[in-house]
Amino acid sequence: MQKYFKWLPHALTLSNLLMGCIAIRYALQDNLADASLFILAAMPFDFFDGLAARALKVSGQLGKQLDTLADMVTFGVAPAMILYMMSSDSQAHTHYDNWLWGNPEYVQYLAYSIAIASAWRLAVFNIDEEQTYGFKGLPTPANAMIIAALPWIAQDYDFPWLPQQLQNPYILVIIMALCTWLPVSGIKLIALKFKNFSIADNLDKYIIILVGGISLALFGFGGMLPTVLIYILVSVFWPKKSVSVS
């Protein structure tokens, strides 16, 4: 029976890619909330393709390469397009007459640095054998979560002051720079993988999951931003033995 389902991991990976393509389509139409939804819809496919491959014993180079290519589109290019369009919209509603905004279209191109950083991050991950139970730099799906949260925060005034700030081109440039740096930063971060389910051994992971769940319950899709921030903070300040990348 197992042999009849060996196609499943690849189908899940290609479904991830399909979600990314649709996200880009919506981003280009300036429908950024729906673009974010399709990035989120891709995440279960990205998570379960590896589990399915291991369960069906079909792990191999083809699946690894397909996964990287799909992640590049969904978690690299699609988020870059969202920030590009947000930058375009912010400049259409504000006037900045100085050296930085003399050529606003070129400033918008800074958003594409996220795609470049994602490509570098994914390539390094493929050849780095030390990133099993920890990461060096923010994984591309988590980086994409930060950006996917922004269109929802921009229209959700439950967040104090943030929606208005996301209409400021300078703030968006700072976000572009941060989301370019995080994947290639080399910061040691926790991988949410469990060797066992002991609270003592996995307290850091349970804290991240609990706080993430609360954030999503309180703020909806905008809660992805505080979820990723908590993930980074717990990883950085937790005892280093817990975030080993070996």
Instruction: Give 2-18 pLDDT, tens digit per residue.
Output: 566 677 888 999 999 99
In which residue are the tokens 């690299």 written?
Answer: 76
Q: Nearest CA to 76 among 29, 125, 11?
A: 125
Alpha helices in the chain (DSSP H): 8-28, 32-56, 61-72, 78-92, 104-108, 113-127, 140-154, 162-165, 169-184, 199-219, 224-237
Q: Which two tokens stand for residue 143?
A: 């980086």
> Against a cut of 0.75, is the pTM above it?
yes
pLDDT of residue 244: 47
Cβ atoms of 169 and 90 closer than 8 Å: yes
Cβ neighbours of residue 108 closer than 8 Å, sequence gap 6 or more: 84, 87, 88, 91
Going by pLDDT thresholds of 50, 70 and 90, the confidence category of residue 242 is very low
Q: What pLDDT digit, counting tens, does each position of 207-237 carry?
A: 888 988 998 888 888 888 889 999 999 888 8
Cα–Cα distance measured from residue 8 to residue 24, given in angstroms and rounded to the nearest whole number: 25
Q: What pLDDT digit, counting tens, does each position of 107-138 carry?
A: 788 999 999 999 999 998 888 776 666 788 99
Cβ atoms of 135 and 232 closer than 8 Å: no
Does residue 243 carry a pLDDT above 60? no
| Residue 17, number of CB atoms within 10 A of its CB | 20
Percent of the chain with pLDDT over 70: 81
For each of the domains in the chain, give its residue range(s) and CATH number, in order of start: 2-243 (1.20.120)
Q: Which two tokens stand for residue 55?
A: 């369960």
Helices (H) and strands (E) in the chain, counts: 11, 2
Q: What pLDDT digit, counting tens, does each position of 138-174 carry?
A: 999 999 999 999 998 887 655 555 656 777 788 888 9
